[in-house]
């Protein structure tokens, strides 16, 4: 078939026959130098294309007359008007499209779950589901979202957000963790500027009086309060007419240091962001029994990741004391009350102790349930919006119950009624708080206490209840024939901690397993800072823990003593210690003095003391010291925390990995030496630069074995780490020259010589390109220098050239980039560490003077 004949199909073309005796030449791999140069050229090409694109965009914006043409503006306006008309007509024909457009304008964390639900209903067989959902759920939810936003961003908050670079505060709920960190730096810098300005106005004398310093603190705290953040030390330092205790001026330096710290602001803003986000999700009906009970799915995943990171942190750190004793931080955490299993066991032991005391005293047990009014509930049981919700937050519902209980307690004491017990705070399906109380009281006081508590529980919005008060208040007398008080409260204790022992029990409110819902409950309590359990009318449990710790220490110290020998000289105190040691909480309460006794009359109290070393902000915190008794006086305290423990990072499992990361020569952990050639060669050419310095026997450093260091060796190692200086970053040309010198040292083949010559040529080419200054770069550098003088930014000539080449340069705490056409300096970011250092340096001297003045007062 001739070649000119047209073929019906492309695969009909003649192919080259296969020769079975031919041997294909092996593909030649490009050398490392070629790959390196190709990548280098590719980077340069990408940078050049990016600069050209930016130049074209700037040229179009600066020199185009289209934006100055009124006819062009008229065309744009006409297009927008036509688009608006089409949307208006579409909304008139199908009103549901307006609702969907409103949903599309919401932030991503609200829009995505709502659109997912809408798309699911679109595929439903019943066409009535989607219109019903849009009209009955989405439409009121959009109104609720707008009102919640208005409540969150108060007028003072909006005024604060109107400052320079703080406009992101209005989008706080939409920010991620990195954006919140940057925003916290800007807020801290703003507060620091106000602080410095007030110092210049108010502190004219060399040594200011404490009254002036207190007034300065209150002004800075007022600025912080505008962001809905409670300033540190506010309750102790704010002005009060009926103040009982004198003002502690030593709190002022630490409080001011916190308000000027970016890390402190990051924690506060991140907490505020999560609370705002959760309330918006509640307003959108995304937190209820049919969606995500108790807490949103977003917060649940966040808390789960937070716990995972915390456990990884505990696994990678140890605790070491001044004697060199080391404990695994993970073991310490799991052995403490932070372990859910230990927390649950301690709770049930305390409840059992109350039950035994009630039996001994002949008291009756009552179980109460108190619920918030309807205006605190965001969502109905069917998942639809509650029309009576007044946009109250979860925190407000908790505060309502706390205030109601405080008012009831005052009224009860006026009538000389007393009770003791425990209360449990847990969420409804939409996150609203309600309380369960297990209370013990005299039988003759039961009716009076129940009626008084009912009156306080239903007094707010009484009209909505009618004759049925069960929706707000329930009471039940515990019958010993049906179950003990501990059995009544056990389910509520377990499902609010870890769900242990509940099996496959299903919640009547959410329809889900109680054991699976425990994670939701703990995430809810952590987010909204709700105290889940509270005992009242009994001695403190912290003294109980300290006594058990002291008993174990005494047992180890008195190994040779007779078993059961007294530990404390006073028989009453030793009886309390023995009761705590055996774990009988009922005996512990009775030996302490019994229930319903004023706190000051207990025999043993927890002792506290200031910390020896100051914290991050220069103030001394309060830590547990041990126990003390009014019988022996505060001067005879018993220390249960003898050692001071510090947190240190664990040594790596592979000792060579840590040393290799620090650049030290270590033995390889494989059979092959994978070091580059520059380190394989030990001989050097006389004219070559030194590649490695081998110390002689007199300079050989001491070799330490990781994990078995003494205190002096540990100090020496840490000192070397702190004084270690990072090596200067080398140019690629330096690397090529070093490789060429290492190859030509000693005997080398012709191939090695050619390879070294190619390395030297590559290094020469790289240096030539680095030193070439084109006319365009030189002209742009001049424009950059002019802009720097105009904006009063101090930059050097090398920094000017870097900016002209399109790179970013950091000057003090600000990162700049130059416009590729005009050379204008543009701010692209901030250096957080430098900004924190500068802000701290400006006021450290003044803070130290204030601290000295506070001590003298």
Active site residue 625: no
Evaluate the CA torsion angle 348, 352, 353, 358 in order and state its sign: positive
212 contact partners, CB below 8 Å, separation of at least 6 = 202, 203
Spatial strand order of the sheet with 646-649 comes to 326-328, 317-320, 646-649
Among left, alpha and beta (phi > 0; psi -120 to 50; other), residue 461 is left
Residues 6+ apart with CB under 8 A from 610: 620, 621, 622, 623
Q: How many other β-carbons are positioned within 10 Å of the β-carbon of residue 652?
A: 13
What is the Cα–Cα distance from 257 to 261, expressed in whole angstroms? 6
- Local structure of 856: helix, strand or coil: helix
Task: Tally Cβ neighbours within 10 Å of residue 665.
Answer: 10
The greatest distance separating any two alpha carbons of the chain, rounded to the nearest whole angstrom, comes to: 120
The DSSP bridge pattern shows strands 433-441 and 420-427 to be: antiparallel
Residue 509 makes CB contacts below 8 A (sequence gap 6+) with 289, 293, 381, 428, 429
- CB atoms under 10 Å from CB of 341, counted, come to 11
Helices (H), 243-292: 251-259, 262-283
Q: Give a three-class secondary structure readout of 161-180.
A: HCCCCCHHHHHHHHCCHHHH
Contact present, 784 and 799 (Cβ < 8 Å): no
Question: In angstroms, rounded to a whole number, what is the distance separating the alpha carbons of residues 508 and 70?
Answer: 67
Residue 603 pLDDT = 94
Copy the structure tokens of residue 589.
């309460």
DSSP label at residue 123: T
Phi, psi angles (nearest 5°) of residue 635 = -75, -15
> What's the DSSP call for residue 376?
G
Q: Is 148 exposed, middle or buried (0-12, 13-18, 19+ CB in 10 A)?
A: buried
CB 277 within 8 A of CB 173: yes
Tokens of 636: 């005879």
Alpha carbon distance 522, 531 (integer Å): 11
- Over its C-alpha atoms, the chain yields an Rg (Å, rounded) of 37
Distance CA 718, CA 712 (A): 10
Residues 292-316 pLDDT 10s: 999 999 999 999 999 999 999 999 9
Beta carbons within 8 Å of 583's beta carbon, 6+ residues apart: 349, 548
The upper half-sphere exposure of residue 683, i.e. CA atoms within 13 Å in the direction of its Cβ, equals 7
| Separation between Cα atoms, residue 164 and residue 551, nearest integer Å | 59
**Which residue(s) pair with 368 in the sheet?**
437, 475
Per the listing, tokens 């030649």 go with 28
Check whether domain 331-411+419-536 has CATH 3.40.50, yes or no:
no
The single residue of 488, 602, 617, 816 carrying the catalytic annotation is 488
For 190, the token pair is: 């703003």
The CB-based long-range contact list for 738-741 (8 Å cut-off, 24+ gap) reads 738/678, 738/689, 738/691, 739/676, 739/677, 739/678, 741/684, 741/685, 741/688, 741/689, 741/691
pLDDT of residue 606: 95
Domain ranges (residues) in the chain: 70-152, 155-286, 331-411+419-536, 541-647, 681-697+730-770, 775-836
3-state SS of 434-486?
Answer: EEEEEEEECHHHHHHHHHHHHHHHHCCCHHHCCCCCCCCEEEEECCCCCCCHH
Note the pLDDT of residue 709.
53
DSSP string, 779-810: HHHHHHHHHHHHHT----HHHHHHHHTT--EE
Instruction: Say what the pLDDT of residue 122 is.
Output: 87
Q: Please state the pTM of the whole predicted model.
A: 0.68
488 as an active site residue: the answer is: yes
- Stretches where the chain sits below pLDDT 50 are 1-2, 4, 657-707, 721-729
Q: Which residue among 294, 400, 492, 544 is the active-site one?
A: 492
Q: Kindly state the tokens that stand for 590.
A: 């009775």
Place of tokens 């089409």: 86
Determine contact, residues 539/602, Cβ cutoff 8 Å. Answer: yes
Q: Distance between CA atoms of 760 and 744, rounded to whole angstroms? A: 12
Which pair of tokens denotes residue 114? Answer: 């709502």
């Amino acid at each position: 078939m001739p070649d000119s004949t047209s073929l019906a199909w492309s695969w009909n073309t003649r192919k080259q026959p296969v020769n079975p005796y031919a041997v294909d030449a092996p593909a030649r791999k490009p050398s490392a130098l070629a790959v390196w140069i190709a990548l280098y050229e590719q980077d340069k090409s990408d940078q050049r294309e990016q600069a050209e694109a930016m130049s074209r965009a700037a040229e179009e914006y600066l020199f185009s007359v289209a934006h100055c043409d009124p006819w062009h503006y008229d065309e744009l306006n006409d297009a927008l008007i036509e688009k608006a008309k089409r949307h208006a007509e579409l909304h008139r024909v199908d009103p549901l499209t307006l609702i969907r457009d409103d949903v599309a304008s919401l932030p991503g964390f609200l829009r995505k779950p709502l659109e997912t639900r809408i798309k699911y209903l679109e595929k439903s067989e019943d066409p009535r589901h989607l219109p019903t959902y849009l009209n009955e759920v989405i439409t009121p939810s959009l109104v609720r979202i707008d009102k919640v936003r208005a409540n969150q961003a108060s007028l003072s908050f909006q005024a604060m957000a109107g400052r320079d670079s703080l406009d992101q505060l209005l989008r706080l709920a939409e920010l991620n963790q990195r954006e919140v960190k940057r925003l916290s730096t800007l807020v801290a810098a703003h507060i620091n500027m106000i602080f410095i300005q007030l110092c210049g106005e108010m502190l004219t004398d060399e040594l200011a009086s404490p009254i002036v310093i207190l007034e300065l603190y209150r002004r800075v705290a007022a600025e912080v309060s505008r962001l809905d953040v409670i300033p540190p030390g506010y309750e102790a330092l704010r002005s009060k007419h009926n103040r009982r205790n004198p003002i502690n001026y030593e709190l002022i330096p630490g409080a001011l240091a916190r308000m000027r710290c970016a890390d402190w602001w990051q924690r506060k803003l991140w907490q505020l962001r999560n609370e705002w986000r959760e309330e918006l999700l509640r307003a959108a009906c995304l937190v209820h029994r049919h969606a995500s009970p108790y807490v949103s799915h977003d917060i649940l995943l966040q808390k789960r990741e937070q716990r995972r990171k915390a456990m990884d942190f505990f696994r990678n750190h140890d605790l070491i004391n001044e004697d060199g004793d080391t404990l695994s931080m993970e073991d310490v955490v799991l052995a403490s009350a932070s372990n859910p299993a230990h927390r649950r066991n301690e709770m049930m032991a305390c409840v059992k102790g109350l039950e035994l005391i009630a039996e001994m005293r002949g008291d009756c047990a009552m179980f109460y349930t108190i619920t918030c009014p309807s205006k605190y509930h965001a969502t109905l049981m069917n998942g639809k919006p509650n029309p009576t919700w007044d946009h109250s937050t979860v925190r407000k519902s908790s505060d309502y119950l706390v205030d109601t209980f405080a008012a009831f307690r005052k009224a009860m004491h006026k009538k000389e009624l007393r009770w003791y017990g425990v209360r449990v705070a847990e969420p409804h399906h939409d996150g609203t708080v309600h309380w369960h109380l297990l209370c013990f009281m005299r039988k003759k006081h039961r009716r009076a206490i129940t009626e008084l508590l009912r009156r306080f529980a239903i007094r707010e919005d009484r009209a909505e209840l009618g004759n049925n008060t069960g929706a707000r208040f329930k009471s039940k007398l515990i019958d010993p024939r049906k179950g003990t008080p501990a059995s009544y409260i056990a389910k509520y204790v377990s499902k609010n901690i870890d769900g242990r022992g509940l099996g496959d029990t299903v919640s009547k409110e959410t329809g889900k397993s109680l054991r699976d819902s425990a994670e939701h409950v703990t995430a809810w309590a952590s987010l909204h800072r709700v105290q889940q359990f509270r005992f009242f009318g009994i001695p403190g449990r912290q003294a109980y823990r300290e006594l058990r710790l002291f008993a174990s220490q005494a047992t180890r110290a008195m190994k040779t003593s007779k078993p059961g020998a007294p530990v404390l000289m006073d028989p009453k105190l030793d009886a309390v210690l023995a009761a705590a040691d055996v774990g009988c909480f009922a005996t512990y309460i009775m030996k302490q003095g019994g229930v319903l006794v004023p706190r000051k009359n207990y025999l043993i109290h927890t002792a506290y003391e200031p910390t020896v070393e100051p914290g991050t902000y220069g103030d001394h915190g309060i830590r547990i010291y041990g126990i003390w008794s009014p019988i022996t006086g505060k001067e005879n305290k018993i220390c249960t925390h003898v050692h001071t423990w510090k947190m240190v990072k664990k040594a790596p499992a592979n000792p060579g990995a840590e040393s290799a990361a620090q650049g030290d020569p270590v033995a390889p952990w494989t059979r092959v030496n994978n070091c580059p050639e520059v380190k394989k060669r030990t001989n050097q050419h006389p004219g070559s630069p030194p590649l490695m310095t081998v110390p002689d026997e007199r300079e050989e450093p001491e070799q330490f074995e990781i994990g078995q260091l003494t205190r002096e060796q540990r100090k020496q190692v840490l000192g070397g780490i702190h004084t270690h200086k990072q090596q200067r970053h080398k140019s690629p040309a330096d690397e090529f020259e070093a490789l060429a010198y290492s190859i030509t040292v000693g005997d080398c083949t012709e191939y090695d010589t050619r390879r070294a010559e190619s390395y030297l040529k590559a290094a020469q080419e790289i240096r030539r390109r680095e030193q070439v200054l084109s006319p365009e770069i030189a002209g742009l550098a001049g424009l950059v220098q002019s802009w720097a003088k105009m904006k009063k930014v101090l930059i050097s000539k090398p920094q000017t050239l870097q900016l002209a080449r399109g790179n970013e340069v950091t000057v003090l705490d600000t990162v700049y980039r130059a416009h590729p056409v005009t050379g204008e300096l543009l701010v692209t970011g901030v250096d957080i560490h430098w900004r924190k250092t500068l802000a701290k340096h400006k006021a450290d001297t003044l803070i130290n003077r204030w601290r000295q003045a506070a001590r003298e007062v």
